[in-house]
Amino acid sequence: MARNRFSYGTKFLLDGMEHVIKRSERNEIVVELVKYKQTKSFPISELEEAFDEERLAFQDITERANKIKLDLNQLSEKEKASIKIKLDVLKPVIDGGYHKIKLDEYLKTLRDEKGYKVSKATFYNWKKIWDRYGDARYLLDLKPGPKVRRTEKEVMNSLEKIMDDNLYTGEEVIYHQIYRLYKDSIKNVNELRNEDQKQVLRSFQTIWRILKENRDLFRQNAARDGYVAAKLQRDGSKSMTEKPTRPLQRVELDWTPTDIYLVDPKTLERKKPWLVYAIDVFSGEPLGFYITFEYPDTFAIKQCLLHCFLPKVYLKKIYPAVQNEWTAYGIPKELVIDNASQNNSYDLEEIFDYFGIDPLYPEVQAGHKKGTVERGLKTFNEILHTLKGTSFSNIYEKKQYDSKGKACITLQAFYYIAHIIFVDIISHNWSHSRMGGTPHQIWEKAFADDPSLIKELPFSKKEITLALCGGREKRIIQNKGIMLEETWYTSDELMKLRYRLIQNGDEDTQVVIRFDHSNVKKIYIEDPYNKTFIEAYIDPNRLHDFEKHYDVDPILPLPFQQIKAICLSEGRQRRAFDDTHVIDALKNIKQIQNDQNKDKRNKYKQTLAEEARIIDGLSLQTFDFESLGDPENPETLHYIGELTESDFNKKQGNSNQKKQNETAEITMIVSNAKSEDGHKSSIDDDLPMYEVSRLGG
C-alpha cells in the first residue's frame, strides 16, 4: 500500500475540498484550505475517522495509484519477476542501510554477481518511488507507448464532420456507411494534393476503433433513447431519495396497458384495459388499483387513491375465491407519481393539499426512479401472459397466437382476477427484494412493532368517496328518478328532493351527481339547497336485465366502464335495427283516415256495405269440427242418424225465412219512430243509419 503521513506538505481531499498540511504536532495538525486560503486545525483522530468513512483521500501527485494493479492475482509471472529484481536491488534502502553503502561499488557488485544492469539514475528513480509509496506494486513499469496516436489525429480531421452529421441524429447508425463517407472525403482531399502529401486510407477496423474511442456515447444515446435513458445508462440507477423506514412513508403510483384482451359479452368486442396501480415502497404491499378502458387521466388516479385510502373489508364477501386477507390501506406521506401532464392538474393538487400528501415527480421517462411500481406492473402482466386472450409483451412473444380470438374474460371477471393476483400472488408471496417475509408480513410487523403507526380513516366512507370518486355529471330529476347511461336510479329521499324542487318552481334544475367508477350500483346526488348529498340506487329490474342479457353478476361490483359498454351496445343495436316498415305502417294509417273522411261525405255508404259483407261472411263461414279434437268423455257421444240433402236444404230455408221476418219487424219499428217525431232525435244527421239483424234461427 502507499504510505502517507500527516506531515508538512502532504495534500489530501476532505469532503471534496483540497487541504495541505502546514504544521504537524503530536495529536493535531494545522492545514490550509487551498481554495479559500483559510487555516484550520484538526485533531488527527478526526482525520483518521474521516479516512475510515472514505471522506478523506490523500492526493497522488504522480497519479501512479490509478494505474497500478490493486489485486496481486492480476500480476503476471513476468511482472512478479520484475518486481522481485527491483526489491532485491533496493534491499539496502528497504532495510535502512542505504547510507552505509557506496552506490557505484554496490551497483558493480550487482552486475558482476547477479547480472543486474542498473544505472545510478534508474536506482534513484526506484528509490524515489519506494520512499514515496512504500509498496512494491508501484515499482512495476507502466505500459509504454505514445499517449496520442499519430494516425488517430490525422484521421479525426476527416471524421469529425462525418460523426456530427451521422452519429447524433437518433437514427440507426450503419458504420460501414460512415466508412464509405470517410473514404469519399479522403478521395476528395487527395485530388487536390501532390503525391507525396496525400493521406493514407485507413482500414475499416482502424476507423471503427477510432470511432468507438472518440464518439460521445452519451450524446448518441440521448438522441436515440432520450436524455433520461442515456443518463441511466451512463450513471446507472440511483435511488430518488433515501429508503423509507415505515409503511405509507412513500407510495409509488403508475399505470400501464395490460397484456390481455377483454370481451364485451353482448357484442363480443375485444378491448385492452389500463391498470392504475399504487404500491407501498417500504413493504412492497399493494395499496390499491383501478382498471379502465380509457387512457388514465386525473379521474382514474383519484379512483386509485380512493381504493388506497379505504379498507378492503369487502374481500371475502364479494370475492370468496381470494384465499388471504388484504389489510393495507391508508393515506401516504409521499406519493411518487409520473411526471405526465394529467398529473399536474388542479384537481390533483387540491387532493394532495387537502390530505397532506407530498407529490414527488421524477423526470420524464425516468421509470427507474419509481422502480417498485414498475416491477409490480411487470409482474402483473407476466401473470396475464398465462391467461386466454393475452397479447404478450411484444409481437415476438405473441408469434401466431390469436389473442382476440382466444379472449373470453369480461371486465367484471377481470376485477376478480386482479384481486387474486394482488392479494394471493403478490401480497402473500415471499419478497425477494426485502428481508422479513412476504409484503403482508412486513406491513403487519411494522404496525405491530411501532405503536405510533396508526391506520387512519375519515368520518365516513361517503365523505372520502365524494372527495375522490371520478364520476361527476349533471341531470334533471324525473318522476322515475335520475338516468345515468340509460339506467334509472331512485330512492325515497330523491323523490322528496324532486317534490321540493317542484314546489319551489325549480323542477328543471340540473343537480350534480357523483359516483364511484369502480361500482355504480349507488350514486350520490347533491341537494342544491343545503349542499348535502343523498343516495340513490340502481333499478333492480335493470340489474336483472344486465344479468340476463349481459352475464353481469349482481353480487359483484358493477364498474362504470361495463355499464357504459352495455349502453353503447344497446345504442348500436337500436341504430342497426331496420325500422323502415314503420313508414309503410304510417302510410296505411293515413290512407284509412283519408278513406273514412271521404266516405263521411257519402253517409258512410262504403263503410256500411263493408260491414254487411263482413257480417254475412261470419254467418256463412263453415265450422271445422276437427279443430275441437277428441271429446273428453266419449260415452256422452250418441249416434242419432244421418241428415239427407233435402232435409238440410229445408232447414236452411226455414232459417233464412225467419231471419227475413225479424229484419222486417225491426225496420218497421225504426220507421214508425221516425214518422212520429219527424226527425231522428237521438242520432246525428250526418251519421249513417245502422240496420240491426240477429244471426241464427
Whether pLDDT at 340 is above 70 = no
Q: Of all helices (H) and strands (E), which one includes residue 535?
A: strand 533-538
The pLDDT value recorded for residue 626 is 58
The pLDDT value recorded for residue 548 is 84
Q: Is-contact 351 268, C-beta < 8 A?
A: no
Q: Is-contact 290 518, C-beta < 8 A?
A: yes
The pLDDT value recorded for residue 475 is 92
Whether pLDDT at 621 is above 70 = no
Q: Residue 562 pairs with which residues in a beta bridge?
A: none
The stretch 47-64 carries a mean pLDDT of 77
Top-confidence range, 129-133, 468-472, 654-658: 468-472
The stretch 384-392 carries a mean pLDDT of 90
Q: Which amino acid is at 274?
A: W
DSSP letters spanning 401-433: --HHHH----HHHHHHHHHHIIIIIIITS--SS
> Measured between alpha carbons, how far is 693 from 697 in angstroms, rounded to an integer?
12
Please state which of the ranges 111-115, 209-213, 692-696 shows the lowest mean pLDDT.
692-696
**Contacts for 592 with CB less than 8 Å, ≥ 6 apart:** none
DSSP letters spanning 75-115: --HHHHHHHHHHHHHTHHHHHT-GGGS-HHHHHHHHHHHT-
The pLDDT value recorded for residue 142 is 66
Q: Is-contact 426 379, C-beta < 8 A?
A: yes
Q: Which amino acid is at 340?
A: A
Percent of the chain with pLDDT over 70: 79
Q: What pTM value is reported for the model? A: 0.54
Among 237, 337, 326, smallest CA distance to 278 is for 337
**Contacts for 128 with CB less than 8 Å, ≥ 6 apart:** none
Three-class SS of residue 329? Answer: coil
Q: Residue 14 pairs with which residues in a beta bridge?
A: 17, 56
> Measured between alpha carbons, how far is 204 from 212 in angstroms, rounded to an integer?
12
Among 494, 476, 584, 600, smallest CA distance to 539 is for 494
Q: Which three cell numbers stand for residue 84?
A: 522481485
Is the pLDDT higher at 65 or at 350?
A: 350
Instruction: Quick: pLDDT tens for 27-45.
Output: 888 999 888 888 889 998 8
The stretch 360-371 carries a mean pLDDT of 65
The pLDDT value recorded for residue 419 is 94
> Measured between alpha carbons, how far is 38 from 33 in angstroms, rounded to an integer?
5
pLDDT band at residue 675 under the 50/70/90 scheme: very low
Is the pLDDT higher at 329 or at 235?
A: 329
Q: Of all helices (H) and strands (E), which one includes residue 565?
A: helix 560-576
The pLDDT value recorded for residue 670 is 45
Is the pLDDT higher at 68 or at 504?
A: 504
The pLDDT value recorded for residue 560 is 85
